[in-house]
Amino acid sequence: MTAIRLLLVDDDPLVRAGLSFMLGGADDIEIVGEAADGSEVEALVDRTRPDVVLMDIRMPSVDGLTATERLRGRKDAPQVVLLTTFHADDQVLRALRAGAAGFVLKDTPPAEIVAAVRRVAAGDPVLSPTVTRQLMDHAAGAAADTRRTRARERLTALNDREREVAVAVGRGLSNADIAAGLFMSVATVKTHVSRVLAKLDLNNRVQIALLAYDAGLLEELGDNGH
C-alpha cells in the first residue's frame, strides 16, 4: 500500500513536533516536509509532492486561508485540511470555498486526526457537526435569496442523475451510501462526482455540498420528509 504523503504547516515548532510524532507513527502516512508559514507552502509542495497538507489557519506572514487559496488554484493541488482552535463562520466559509477539504481542531484526539488525514486522502471531506451547522445557518442567512438564485443557475449544467448525486454529496453521504441509495455501482457514483466537479468547476466534494446548501436543495429534502 502506498503511504499518504503529508506536509505539516504550523508556526509553532512544538505543535509541529507533536503532529509529526503522532502522524509519523501511522504505517500508512509519510511526513514529507514541514513549514512554519504559509509563504513556504507552494515551494515545499513543488519539492515534496504531498497528497495532503495539514495547515494551521493562523500564521504570522501568510495565513492558512491565503495559502489554501493559492494552493488550490494550482493544477493537481494536494488536499488541504486546516488546523484551528475555533470555528469562525467567515473563516470556515472562505476556506471551504477556496477548496479546503475540511477542518481539524487542535485539541482533536490523535486517532481522529490520523483518521481525518486518511479520509481526506481518500477523497472524503472532514467536516465536524459544528461546521455543518454553520453551513446550514449560512444558507439561511443574509443574501440567501441571491445565493440561491446563483447556485440554482449553476446547477442547471447538471443532468438529473448528476443533480441527485450532488444532493447526496451535500448530505454528507459516502460513495457507497450514494450507490446504495441511488441503485448504482460505486464506480458509477465516482464517475458522476467527477463530472459534477468538472461541469461546475469545483475542487472537491465540500464545494459541491456548499453549492447544494446555497441552492436550498437540502432544505427541500427535509420539507419532503426524505
pLDDT of residue 226: 42
Mean pLDDT, rounded, for 67-74: 86
Q: Which of 17-21, 64-68, 142-146 has the lowest mean pLDDT?
A: 142-146
Task: For residue 129, give every residue at least 6 positions away whose Cβ sits within 8 Å of its Cβ, in sequence order, or none.
Answer: none
Per-residue confidence band for 144, with pLDDT thresholds at 50, 70 and 90: low
**Bigger pLDDT: 129 vs 200:** 200
pLDDT of residue 44: 95
Residue 36 reports pLDDT greater than 90: yes
Q: What is the 3-state secondary structure (H, E, C) of the chain?
A: CCCEEEEEECCCHHHHHHHHHHHHCCCCEEEEEEECCHHHHHHHHHHHCCCEEEEECCCCCCCHHHHHHHHHCCCCCCEEEEEECCCCHHHHHHHHHHCCCEEEECCCCHHHHHHHHHHHHCCCCECCHHHHHHHHHHHCCCCHHHHHHHHHHHHCCCCHHHHHHHHHHHCCCCHHHHHHHHCCCHHHHHHHHHHHHHHHCCCCHHHHHHHHHHHCHHHHHHHCCC
Task: For residue 151, give every residue at least 6 positions away whose Cβ sits within 8 Å of its Cβ, in sequence order, or none.
Answer: 211, 212, 214, 215, 216
The vertex-43 CA angle with 40 and 46, nearest 5°, equals 145
**Bigger pLDDT: 167 vs 104:** 167
Mean pLDDT, rounded, for 92-105: 79
**Bigger pLDDT: 53 vs 219:** 53
pLDDT of residue 222: 46
Q: What is the pLDDT of residues 196-224, one digit of tens each?
A: 999 998 878 888 888 888 888 876 544 44
Quote the mean pLDDT of the chain: 84
Residue 164 reports pLDDT greater than 50: yes
**With contact defined as beta carbons under 8 Å apart, do 96 and 120 qualify?**
no
Mean pLDDT, rounded, for 32-47: 95
Query: Could you give the CA distance from residue 81 to residue 138 in angstroms, rounded to a whole number?
Result: 21
Q: Which of 47-51, 94-98, 113-117 has the lowest mean pLDDT?
A: 94-98
pLDDT of residue 126: 76
Per-residue confidence band for 90, with pLDDT thresholds at 50, 70 and 90: low
Which one of 1-5, 89-93, 148-152, 180-184 scores highest in mean pLDDT?
Answer: 180-184
Residue linked to cell 504531498: 50
